[in-house]
Amino acid sequence: MNDTQDAFFDLAVSCGALRFGAFTLKSGRQSPYFFNAAAFASGRALTELGRLYARAVETKGLPYDVIFGPAYKGIPLAVALALGLALEYGRDTPYCFNRKEAKDHGEGGITVGAPLRGRVLVIDDVISAGTSIAESARIIADANATLAGVVIALDREERGSGTQSAASEVAARHQVPIISLGRLSGLLAYLGRREDLGQYRKAVADYRAQYGTGDVD
């Protein structure tokens, strides 16, 4: 049992960020579950989520200097991780995020917060087509910094454009590790332990059988 993963699923379910039923995804796939990080919409929820992100990152021992959250969902997540690191580990880690459009007055520029320097950890909710990560990697490279890794909330472990998962494709494309709080394989085990949610396990298992991959850590 992965305590961090189960704590993440507990939090996501209690906040309504993880729901079960019938959902049409952007890809057109019909999914028996839906994850929406925007539902972590309170101080308590973001604080707990930040602690879990911090725990996952620290467990991997990945070296990095700055946290970067791609607009828009990545912005509160970057703040949450920075707070989680401070609260859990006493680490005062700088963070920044990008603007959708460059500012041409005041301090100007395309990023807000700490300067993009050294090794940069990108934080997001999920990886779908990898477009957000590719844009983040470009912004980081333009600042003469280095993409150190990516941390996401949920790895759906679904096939991307090929036989690998979207997360695995991004990891291979950018040659960086992908850290996740929860994975679809872990969700199946979690549903098996939750009597109140057990009725959804078969549908999730069937979905994984249809769209999942054989990717392993």
Q: Which residue has the tokens 């959902």?
A: 23
- What count of Cα atoms within 13 Å lies in the side-chain half-sphere of residue 47? 5
The answer to whether the Cα torsion of 10, 11, 14, 16 is positive or negative is: negative
Where do we find the tokens 């950890």? 121
For the chain, the first-to-last Cα distance in angstroms comes to 16
Residues carrying an active site annotation:
103, 105
Contact 119, 146 (CB under 8 A): yes
The predicted model gives 176-197 an average pLDDT of 96
Q: CA dist 132 to 35, 71, 117, 188, 192, Å? A: 17, 9, 19, 27, 33
Query: Mean pLDDT throughout 24-30?
Result: 86
Mean pLDDT for the chain overall: 91
Round to whole Å and give the CA distance between 143 and 122. 14
pLDDT tens digits, one per residue of 32-71: 999 999 999 999 999 999 999 999 999 999 999 999 999 9
Domains of the chain: 3-211 (3.40.50.2020)
Contacts 24+ apart (CB under 8 A), 21-29: 26/128, 27/128, 29/158, 29/211
Residue with the two structure tokens 């291979």: 172
16, 54, 208, 25: CA torsion to nearest 10:
50
Mean pLDDT computed over 77-87: 98
Q: Would the pTM count as exceeding 0.85?
A: yes
The pLDDT of residue 33 is 96
Q: Where are the alpha helices (DSSP H) in 61-148?
A: 74-89, 131-142
Higher per-residue pLDDT: 166 or 203: 203
Nearby residues of 14 by Cβ (< 8 Å), 6 or more positions away: none
d(CA 68, CA 80): 12
User: Distance (Å, rounded) from C-alpha 129 to C-alpha 191?
Assistant: 27
Place of tokens 């990945």: 62
Mean pLDDT of 124-138: 87
217 pLDDT higher than 50: no
